[in-house]
Every structure is written in C-alpha cells, then in structure tokens.
Amino acid sequence: MKRLSGIAGAATAGGSPLTTLLNDAKRLGGIYHLDYDKAIVITDDFIKREAGGVPRNGFLLAAATVPTKETNAPLDEDEIILLRVRGTAALPNESELIATRLAAMRTADVRDQRPEAVIDNLTNGQIEMSAFDCEVLGTFYADTVARQPYVQWGADIDNVYSGARYFVYLPSAEVLSFIASYPEKTADEIESQEEPNLIDVGVVRFASTRRRAVEAKMDSVPVKVRVTDFISRKTAVLGMTRVGKSNTNKTIVTSVFEHAALTKTNIGQLIFDPQGEYANVNPQDKTGLRLLGTGSDRVHIYKMNPKYGDNQEFPLAINFHDTNEFAMVWEMIGNALAEMNASYANAFKTARLLEPSRDEYPTGQAGDREYYDVIGDVQRGRLAFYALLAKANFAGSATGFSIRFKMDKDTRAAFEADRPGVIELANPRQGICAVKSPAAARMVVAWLSERIAENLSGSVPPKYQSVNAATWQSCEPFMSVLTVFDATVGSAVLNRIKTLVDFHDPTSRGDLAEKVWDDLVAGRLVIIDLSIGSDEVTKILSERLVFRLIDRANQRFRANLDNVPIQIVVEEAHNLFDRSKSGKSTVKDDPWVRLAKEAAKYGMGLVYATQEVTSVDKRILSNTSNWIVAHLNSDNETRELSHYYDFAVFAEGLRKVEDRGYARMKTFSGKYIVPVQIAKFDHAMINRAREAAGLPPVNL
C-alpha cells in the first residue's frame, strides 16, 4: 500500500497540475488532423528513434505548448489531450513518398549500400516522414478541489480546432505511471481528506517486444490500483491456461487480505479451487495463499482427506447419514437431480420427506390425526431414503443414527423371523420401531420390497399372508423412494446419486455452508479444494454454497444489520458456470447470475477467472466492474469481449501475443484500458500482508 507521491502529490499540494504532465516529455511531432474521435500525428524516423520507439496502443499527450518551454510557459489551451496509438496513417503525399522509398531501396540494393548513402539529406528527411493514427481517449484539464489544484479527467474533447495547434509528446516514466494509475486520488478523497490504499499491480507494457522499452528505461513503470475497486464488485480475469490468471487472483486476494488487516475490517474471501493450487504451497517457488495464515486462524482450507494435525485444514465432505443434516443432504440430492424429468425422478424429487409443522393442520383431534399420519408417512419415506443411500455405497453411519417408523405387529413378526435383531421396538403400544444404521434400513426396505412385489403379483407365500404390505404401498413418500431403490423403472436417478459419494464422510459433523459462513463473517480466507470429485459434484457443491451465502446475507440485509463484505473467487469458472444455462436461466435459478444482479447491496463481490468469455452469462458480464484480460486464442472469445468497453481495439493483440502475465486492464476507478505486465506473486507480497495482520514473516 502506498501514499501519493510524484505528480499526483504535487498537483494536490498546490503545484501546476497540467504542466507537470509534460515534465521530461519527449516531443514526437504534432497533430495535423483532429476530430472528436481520432488524431493524425506527423513525426519522422529520427524522432521516433530518439524517443525510444512508439509501440501500438501506447499513450501520447497532445498540448498547445511553446516548444522547449513546455513546463514554464502557459498552455495556449488549458488542457492536455490523451491519445492512444492505433496504427500508422497515410500522409497526403504518401504515394510520392512510397515511390521515392522504392527507388532508394532498389538503388541501395544494387549498389550494396545503405539507403541513406544513395540519396541526399533533403530527400532522406522527406521519406522518413510518417504519421500515426491515434484514438482520442479524453482530456486532462485543470480543476480545483477543496481549494487545491487538481488534474481532472473528461472522457472526450469539447472542441476541435482545424488549425495546427497541438504538439504531441511521449510522457516520461513518472508521468506514464500517473496516466496508467489515474486517478491515484479522486476528488471525493481529496474533499474527505482520505488516503486511498494503492497497490502496484504491475508495470506498464505496451508491446510483447520490450527491447526499446528497456533501452529507454520505460520497462518498469509502476501501475497502481485501488484495492477497494475489487471489494464487493465483479472482476473478470480472462485468458488461456498458463497466461497468469491464478497469479492475478493470488495478487488480488493477498491485497484484499492486507487491506482488511490495515483497516481492521473483516472481509471474508472464499476461493473455489478446482486444481488445489490455492490450497497448497507451490513446490516450485514455495508460495501459496495458505501462507497468509500460517501460525494463525486467518485461513481455513476445506478439502477431502485433510491432513491430521494441520490446524488450517478441515473436512470438505459431509456425513450424508447425519439425520440432523437431512434437509441439507436432501437439498444437495435435489440439486443433483434438477435436470432429470422422468416421471419417477420427479416423484422422487417431490416426495415429502421433510417433517411438516403442526401449524399447517387444523386444531383439535382431527388435525392431530392428520398431522401424525403425515409424520408417519415421512418417517417411512426417510427409512427408504437411508436404505437408498446404503445401496448407493454411502458407507458407514452416524453417531446416534436412529430412524423410527410404524410397523404393525404381524408384519414385524414376519420380518424378525427372517432377519432377527435388525429392528428395535421403540414404542410397543403404538407399534413404533427403529433401525440404528443405514445398513439395517436397507435390509428392512429390501424385505418390504419383496413383500410388496408378491402382493402386486397376487402370489403371496403362506408364511407372509399376515404381512400388511398394502399400508406400505399406500405410503406415497415410501413408494416414491422405493421406485428408485428397486431401479425397476430405471437406474438413472440411482446412478446420479452415486456421483455424490465423493462428498460423503461418515466422520464429518455439521453443515459445511454454515461453517463457511461463520468463517467469512469472521473475516477469514476460505479455500474450498475441489481437486477431488467429479465436475458435476463440484458444481452442485459450489452452487449450493453460493445460494446459502446469498440467503444468509439477505437475512442480515432484511434485519437491518450491517453487511459483511465477502469476496467469492472462482477459478476455471467455465467448469462451474453452466454453459447450457447461460443466458437462459432465471436469476432465482442461477447462483452466479443472482450474485451478479443482487449481491452488491449485500457487500458481496465476485472474481471469476476463465478462458471462455462465451461461457459467462451476459448478465454477469454486464455487471462486471473490473477486467483483467490476457491472451485469448479464439476470435469467438475476443468478439464477445469486444462488446465491453473498447476491448475491440485490443482484440488482435490478445489473440496474437501469448506472453505470460501480459494483460489489458480496466478497473472500476480507471478511466481507460491500460496494458500491464502483472506483478509476480511472491513472498514479499505474502510477508507484507502478514506484517499488516501482525504476523511474523514466513521463509520457505
């Protein structure tokens, strides 16, 4: 984090805000054609060489100056126009210049000499003339804020002169940093005397080839951004694999961690980690986000098979047999089956397995009877449900596991004759029985399934004539689950349920979503390691977590409680954002769209990293405030990206240049896109954040 210095500091301290932008600038030429959107700048090869080169998309400054007196003479127009180089432009006499260049080159080739050796100085000076086609980004102009001079920005120009008035300059390194970081301090911050927390996100980089930038000492110009731009807002980190998306995310997360510590604010951060790279220390450079919390309780990592004795790691899986968490398990299974529409699948999903409230029924004995009849059906349905889990290979049981259900005396006697000791008689007077494990439930349900099949076929053996199979057949919740258990109609539902077994741990206790919520409220960094488990399971788990977090945040909002700032970071977002739903789902059905549309009022933000812009719902893209875009190899992706801000200008370069960490960035506070080489995540970042949190440095 840095306080203001240099140009921004001088401007707000009473210096001349505009002329300082021309300090040590190199005059490149002048504008000979200007309109509201573009400018044509005339220059020549000698000037370009002396200036250190002019890369595509580089920033230029245009001002009505007195040459050689740029910083000590008043500007003819009290403004400086910011230009971006788009390419070259043809001069009015371009055809003549081309003919002369052609002749010079042919002569030089024939004579085995350099071109300048075969032509006179006047001709050489003429053929070295050239022009740049530049985009007008806007205007820096002098303003006064809180009685202090201030460099204000306007995203256009408010007048066009036809005469030749403006000289054009390449900014110095200090001024380029000011431009790339603008605004280092906003008018509101000046008026409130607030010092923004800024971080060096990287350095300005206009081109893949950096030879001339290095020679001109323009290769390490810092770019500063506000940490607060990324808090409670949407951020897109886009690019192909291995171009630095994870490095960028780690930098953002670490900066938010540091900012929270410095401001003594609880800002929870949740990372969905599909490859385990955030949850573990990188074996190459020994860095990792978990190091932010080493020796403290500031980082919690939820993963399969957490390491015993590691106080940062906690079990990710849940115990599907924990009857206290039945509602959560039922919700997860319902989410897994959401797109299955077979009649038996719909019957299973809508089976009444959640206990009703007594208030839903009339008062009096009739209401009591109806209520307890429904409770009896729910209990039988749950008996079949836990039997189904056992059949689907959900191993083990849970402490205190007990499923109660009503079974008449004759049926119970027939069962005990075949399977002695499996069920217990909990209430003899009411015929209430109980099983103490999912395996026992499976034996009971399998036996009942056989009796029902015999009853339906009309061929009941003599020993089972007293079994009252009809009462079980008439129990809708039980039969809806039994159809899936038997798999007589189809096995698709059973097979889909089996995919969730990766997230079952018979030793786990409690609701993962509640644990994560509590961690985030406490301001912890939470990493969900999804490196083990199918894509479908990770999508279900992540969506359920996001839904629950939004719901909890909404509860606080409706209760007029202060928001809890929360950042959700999604790596490889195309694996979690359902492409088949993109643009089709409702806000209610899609947690990511709901996060984009609703969560700002709850203080919740989203950072999503993906190589597929087209996989992201347009409603999410339209609500994105920060963009960090590296190499994309498809024109489908750059075409989609081109709908936002002026990324269309950079489309060709994004497809062509594959340099790692080379990105084009537009932040919430930033006024234009800045090409930047993102800083490498390292131990210095980690230890700076740890120091802010009052923790000692780590050295690996």
Peptide bond before 420: cis, by omega within 30 degrees of 0? no
Give the whole-number percent of the chain exceeding pLDDT 70.
Answer: 94
Tokens in use for 632?
A: 């994309």
Residues 6 or more apart whose CB falls under 8 angstroms from that of 350 comprise: 480
Rounded mean pLDDT, 221-230: 95
The model's pTM: 0.80
Rounded mean pLDDT, 75-84: 87
Which residues, in sequence order, are bridge partners of residue 269?
525, 567
Other C-beta atoms lying within 10 Å of the C-beta of residue 79: 20
Rounded mean pLDDT, 82-101: 87
- State pLDDT tens for residues 314-369: 888 889 999 988 987 898 898 889 889 999 999 999 999 998 888 888 888 888 88
Rounded mean pLDDT, 60-67: 89
Residues 6 or more apart whose CB falls under 8 angstroms from that of 308 comprise: none
Hey, what amino acid is at 138? G
What end-to-end distance do the CA atoms of the chain give, in Å? Answer: 24
CA distance 138 to 383: 70
Residue scoring higher pLDDT (209 or 107): 209
* pLDDT score of 12 more than 60: no
Under DSSP, is residue 700 helix (H, G, I), strand (E, B) or coil? coil
Rounded mean pLDDT, 490-516: 88
Rounded mean pLDDT, 94-115: 79
* pLDDT score of 3 more than 50: no
Hey, what long-range contacts does 636-640 have (CB within 8 A, 24 or more apart)? 637/238, 637/611, 637/612, 637/613, 638/613, 640/613, 640/614
CA distance 648 to 135: 13
Question: Residue 299: its pLDDT value, please?
Answer: 95
CA distance 222 to 601: 33
**Residues 201, 224: contact at Cβ < 8 Å?**
yes
CA distance 199 to 180: 13
- State pLDDT tens for residues 592-622: 888 877 888 898 999 999 999 998 888 889 9
Cα 227 from chain centroid (whole Å): 16
- State pLDDT tens for residues 139-149: 999 998 888 88
* pLDDT score of 26 more than 80: yes
Rounded mean pLDDT, 498-511: 84
Q: What is the 3-state secondary structure (H, E, C) of 345-374?
A: HHHHHCCCCCCCCHHHCCCCHHHHHHHHHH
Give the whole-number percent of the chain exceeding pLDDT 90.
Answer: 60
Handedness of CA 24, 25, 28, 33 (dihedral sign): negative
- State pLDDT tens for residues 440-462: 999 999 999 999 999 999 999 99
| Residue closest to 643 by CA, chosen among 179, 236, 243 | 236
* pLDDT score of 5 more than 60: no
Q: What is the 3-state secondary structure (H, E, C) of 671-690?
A: CCCEEEEECCCCHHHHHHHH
Question: Residue 594: its pLDDT value, please?
Answer: 83
Other C-beta atoms lying within 10 Å of the C-beta of residue 305: 12
Residue with tokens 């032509």: 119
Residue with tokens 């079952």: 504
Other C-beta atoms lying within 10 Å of the C-beta of residue 158: 9
Q: Residue 583, exposed/middle/buried by CB under 10 A (0-12, 13-18, 19+)?
A: exposed
Question: Residue 251: its pLDDT value, please?
Answer: 95
Average pLDDT, the chain: 89
Residue with tokens 């770019």: 223
pLDDT bucket at 13, cuts 50 / 70 / 90? very low
CA distance 120 to 376: 105
Which residues, in sequence order, are bridge partners of residue 145?
148
- State pLDDT tens for residues 232-285: 999 999 999 889 899 999 999 999 999 999 999 999 999 999 888 899 998 888
Residue scoring higher pLDDT (479 or 113): 479
CA distance 422 to 607: 52
Under DSSP, is residue 152 helix (H, G, I), strand (E, B) or coil? strand
Rounded mean pLDDT, 485-490: 89
Question: Residue 10: its pLDDT value, please?
Answer: 52
Question: Residue 534: its pLDDT value, please?
Answer: 66
Task: Please give the C-alpha separations between residue 698 and each of 320, 459, 678, 684, in angstroms, as whole numbers.
Answer: 39, 75, 23, 10
